[in-house]
Amino acid sequence: MKGYCFNNHATEPLQGGSHNQKRHPYPYSRFSGVRINDEKQLLSTLAASVLLLSASVVRAQDAPSRTECIAPAKPGGGFDLTCKLIQVSLLETKAIEKPMRVTYMPGGVGAVAYNAIVAQRPAEAGTVVAFSGGSLLNLSQGKFGRYDVNDVRWLATVGTDYGMIAVRADSPWKSLKDLLTAMEKIRTAWSLARAPLLAADWMKAALLAQQAKVDPHKMRYVAFEGGGEPVTALMGNHVRAVSGDLSEMVPYLSGDKIRVLAVFQKTVCRASWQTSQPPKSRVITRSGRSSAASSSGQK
């Protein structure tokens, strides 16, 4: 899950509705009281978003002259995608008159941006911060320092993202079964990239290791900040697989450089990029069990 929030010091409700208003049937299609025109297009482009704001962003005539979206990572990942989608959506729906600035503030899976917006920039009416499910996990565990969930105002959930495991397109592992077999044989002599230890993306890798009867704490896990760097490391053959979010992989799939082996979803994931991919994705449940349809059409 990815998205945004704002500082809790803001006292005015969002324009276009109160905090107690009846929920729209498609809550993911609302942002600051503005209806996103094409809900299907938004969902097909962005798998996930939750919003944090430092104050209300409203209609164009009421909106601040300067708007900014902070992506708590380096360019190229899900945070970057989330900010740019909001940037385009607010401009196209005329919620703002000038393009929203995108600023990158990596550190602590969102901790640096969270602390900066609460402690140093509480009065910026046009600043939003992108967050993910991994950020929320760390926040709930108290890893963001002295600030907690009550120090910001949570605005909206835009959608749902799903975890995935990917390898290079020329990898010898053609299916999830191939990867699990390799993990069982070579144990710790393989590397997987993504977020810091015990973060959400590490848990995805841990589920795989658990199924391959490998101790997750003994596998080589290379931590990166954001979703762009792991893909770069994968393309450079510095790591052999990447655990992350499906939405982050979409820009890389059209060039036939990445192969998605599994999607952490209860049902089979089908998308346009799967014309050059296996027709079905292996399903990994929270318990670590592999079920439903498999990659390459194998049961």
Phi, psi of 188 (to 5 degrees): -90, 0
pLDDT at 231: 84
Flag whether pLDDT at 255 surpasses 50. yes
Q: For residue 21, what are the contacts with CB-CB under 8 A and spacing of at least 6?
A: none
CA distances from 83 to 52, 68, 127, 134, 140 (A): 11, 9, 11, 17, 23
CATH 3.30.930.10 corresponds to the domain 163-297: no
Q: Characterize the bridge pairing of strands 68-71 and 127-129.
A: parallel
Please tell me which residue, 274 or 170, carries the higher pLDDT value. 170
The band of 171, judged by pLDDT with boundaries at 50, 70 and 90, is very high
pLDDT tens digits along 272-291: 545 444 433 344 433 344 33
Task: Compute how many other C-beta atoms are within 10 angstroms of the C-beta atom of residue 174.
Answer: 15
pLDDT tens digits along 103-123: 999 887 788 889 988 888 877
pLDDT at 188: 54
pLDDT at 151: 86
pLDDT at 47: 32
Task: Compute how many other C-beta atoms are within 10 angstroms of the C-beta atom of residue 279.
Answer: 12
Measured CA to CA, the distance from residue 69 to residue 270 in angstroms comes to: 31
Establish whether domains 2-159 and 163-297 are of one fold.
yes
Q: Where are the domains of the chain?
A: 2-159, 163-297
CA distances from 139 to 110, 226, 234 (A): 9, 17, 28
* Mean pLDDT for the chain overall: 68
> What's the pTM value of the predicted model, to 2 decimals?
0.61
Q: What is the CATH T-level fold of the domain 2-159, as seen in this structure?
A: D-Maltodextrin-Binding Protein; domain 2 (3.40.190)
**15-24, 85-94, 232-241: the lowest-pLDDT one:** 15-24
